[in-house]
């Protein structure tokens, strides 16, 4: 799956999300994002696909 670079609004939204997470959740998210296989598994779930559609305005 190709990922487009985030625009300013998406980057701001992501930063706000990261600030709202607990330290444990932030660590877990970073662990997943640093593992390409885990990231692919998470992003391929129906829930992630639906969320991505909503966030990108394509759904």
- Give the whole-angstrom CA distance, residue 14 versus residue 3: 15
Q: Identify the residue whose tokens are 């759904």.
A: 59
Tell whether the torsion through CA atoms of 45, 5, 25 and 55 is positive or negative. negative
pTM of structure = 0.56
Q: Identify the residue whose tokens are 């990231």.
A: 39
For the chain, give the mean pLDDT. 85
pLDDT of residue 28: 92
pLDDT of residue 6: 60
According to DSSP, residue 3 is labeled -
């Amino acid at each position: 799956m190709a990922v487009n670079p985030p625009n300013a609004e998406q980057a701001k939204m992501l930063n706000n999300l990261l600030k709202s997470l607990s330290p444990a959740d932030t660590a877990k998210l970073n662990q997943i994002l640093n593992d390409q296989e885990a990231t692919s598994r998470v992003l391929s779930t129906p829930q992630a696909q639906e969320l991505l559609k909503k966030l990108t305005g394509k759904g």
